[in-house]
A and B are shown apart, each in its own frame.
Chain A
Amino acid sequence: MDEIIVGKVYVLDDHIDTDQIIPAAHLVYSLSDPQEAQKYGQFALSGVPPEKAGLPGGKVPFVPPGETRSPFSVIIAGENFGCGSSREHAPFALQKAGVRVVIAASYARIFYRNAVDGGFLIPLESKEKIVPYFKTGDSVEVRIKENRLYRRADGAEFELKSPGDVLPIIQAGGLFAYARRSGLIKS
């Protein structure tokens, strides 16, 4: 796991559910065929209503039309990110689009588990609601060990919550890697 992640942010509202992250009609593509799995990147966050897509102004496509990678590798969002279905396709789609870390005020349980156990991306929680302080396109630096987020333009600093006893799984890069490392399963 990289300790420091630098990237541009894409800002979202509260309650981004899994149908917005990856609409159900797209769940049919293979997750294991590398070529076909690109489709998940292409349609990541395609269910977000346009006026909410990339706050504060909205109408910022997360992935440029026809492409499979997003220019935004950090997502900043409000409460209850990833609510809805249990589809692991959701953190997978974000990962395929190039997201490395999500910083939300809070998460739905299954999305959080999936992100961590699958090692798709790093879900972190902000101490306060930070959505109003950011606009889509801001450059940021996330320091995982220090639980801090910096806005590069002015150096403004925001505190994150520690992932607590889930950190070892995040650091290992997922549940299987963790289980091997700790001897839970034989490699």
Chain B
Amino acid sequence: MGMTITEKILARSAGKPRVNPGENVWLAVDVLMTHDVCGPPTFQIWKAEFGDQARIWDKNKVVIFPDHYVFTADPHARRNIRFLDEVAETYRLPHYYAAGSERYKGVCHIALAEEGFNVPGSVVIGTDSHTCSAGAFGLFATGVGNTDAAFILGTGKIWEKVPHSLKFRFEGEMPVYLTAKDLILKILGDLTTNGATYCAMEFAGSAISQLNIDERMTLTNMAIEAGAMSGIMAVDEITRQYLTARGVTEFEEFTSDPDASYRATFTYQVEELEPAVAKPSSPDRHAPVREVAGTEVTRCYLGSCTGGKLSDFVNAARILKGKKVKVPTFAVPATTTIARQLNTVQVDGQSVQEILLEAGCVVAPASCAACLGGPVDTVGRAVDDDVVISTTNRNFPGRMGSKKSQVYLASPLTVAAAAVSGKISDPRDWL
């Protein structure tokens, strides 16, 4: 019996010739990533548990991005950031991207990719549920809590149950009005929020190989929304080019064997899919946009690790160009690198930044911002009974702020179409 790409990577990490789904294995971790919400408790647990013996197993493998609560006056949030500043200084951590410094990056999952930490074939563990995003690079990535992270910090090890794999094939030619967000929302509608619990979601097919890295990360990012442990796709020329540009040239590429076993395989023809939303208040409440078209919105949001990447803003700009938004619209780039790129990358001869500003969007500095609500002074946070349409990944009750608000999830194209019309609209009418 062959192995899936996930089983091969886990076998390598566990130092075994093969692993089988359901089996518990100890993995050697290649990268441990954390941020300002879970970093401080992780270091506190590590210190308390290891005491005087506390040593970081490998400083080169620890990567820290303050990103969640960066632009807020909230005293507790400020304290978390100060705590990380001190930890990084005390232990001389080489991969700390301090808020307020030249090195500040923003949203961890995208920063991890941009800084070249996503090395194919490796095991990436992060204290954030969307750590699965990194699977877009042909590696195993999953989220854990603070105790697991503290254990890794001291030992470099984690136990994991080897997941069963589910395969998702997307075939055909991606239409211009369709994005990776529409694909993953479709999967979530079919699978529900626990349809992939403890599974690895593997993406393949001719449509996937047309997607750039930004779009691929949208798919793997939202694997957790189906309860999956990880999302993954094999490395190809697009991955290699992205990595080479960031100085990552040495890595091991794994692929699934033709006779590998899957719990289930789903096949979609992309030409048959249409722009979609997830209705309030769960990411699996899939509906084609045309079914909810006309619903009035009070706020639009472009941002987060799912919807705040360069390609997402380019997509939004395709619709926003030369138009004005009808409702307050927030654009929050995931990272400082993307924020800079908005000034240089153009759509029809105009920079994306100019298009956003001329349309009347509020462009805020890179961070998680209102993706998870956050302290009351967070930019873009949903208030009262706001009806929001957003490119983020979660719309659970209260996720973006007010418990009374309603959040629709959609692609950047669909959000931009709503911004210029004031109501949910099919992006095909605006392209």
Interface residues of A (CB under 8 A from B): 15, 17, 19-20, 23-25, 27-32, 47, 49, 79-80, 83-88, 106-110, 113-114, 117-118, 165, 174-176, 179, 184-186
Contact = CB atoms under 8 A, between A and B. Distances in A.
Given A84-B396, A88-B146, A117 B129 contact: no
B373 A23 contact: yes
A23 B24 CA distance: 32
Interface stretch (B5-13, B72-80, B176-184, B261-269): B72-80
Interface string B74-90: 10110110000000000
B307 interface: no
Contacts, number: 123
Contacts of A32: 41, 44, 48
Given A108-B227, A110-B129, A87 B148 contact: no
Contacts of A176: 49, 147, 151
A31 B41 contact: yes
A63 to B, nearest CB: 17
A176 B381 CA distance: 38
B155 A20 contact: no
Contacts of B148: 113-114, 117, 175
Interface of B: 24, 37-38, 41, 44, 48-50, 53, 69, 74, 76-77, 79-80, 126-129, 131, 143-148, 151, 154-155, 157, 193-194, 197-198, 227, 229, 282, 372-376, 394, 396-399, 403
A47 B227 contact: no
A80 B37 contact: no
The 10 A-B pairs with the shortest beta carbon distances in the complex, nearest first, are A28-B76, A88-B145, A114-B145, A80-B194, A86-B129, A118-B147, A86-B143, A88-B146, A24-B372, A31-B41
A109 B159 CA distance: 13
10 contacts: A23-B403, A28-B76, A30-B76, A85-B129, A86-B38, A86-B129, A87-B145, A88-B145, A109-B229, A179-B155
Contacts of B69: 28
Contact of B146 (A15, A84, A118, A184): A118
B112 to A, nearest CB: 15
A107 B193 CA distance: 11
Given A28-B79, A85-B129, 12 more contacts: A15-B282, A23-B403, A32-B41, A49-B403, A85-B372, A86-B129, A86-B143, A88-B145, A117-B145, A118-B145, A179-B151, A185-B50
Contact of A117 (B37, B77, B147, B282): B147
B376 A113 contact: no
The CB with the most chain B CB atoms within 10 A, among A15, A27, A174, is that of A27
A24 B403 CA distance: 11
Contacts of B374: 24-25
A106 B77 contact: no
B396 A20 contact: yes
B41 A19 contact: no
A47 B403 contact: yes
Nearest to B163: A109
Contacts of A29: 76
A84 B77 CA distance: 21
B400 to A, nearest CB: 9
Contacts of B48: 32
A176 B394 CA distance: 32
Contacts of A49: 397, 403
A64 to B, nearest CB: 20
Contact of B197 (A80, A113, A118, A185): A80
Contact of A88 (B41, B375, B397, B399): B41
A38 to B, nearest CB: 14
A86 B193 contact: no
B38 A88 contact: yes
B227 A117 contact: no
A110 B143 contact: yes
A165 B23 CA distance: 10
A87 B76 CA distance: 16
Contacts of B373: 23-25
A39 to B, nearest CB: 10
B194 A83 contact: yes
A23 B398 contact: yes
A176 B336 CA distance: 38
Contact of B397 (A47, A86, A113, A184): A47
Contact of A86 (B44, B144, B154): B144
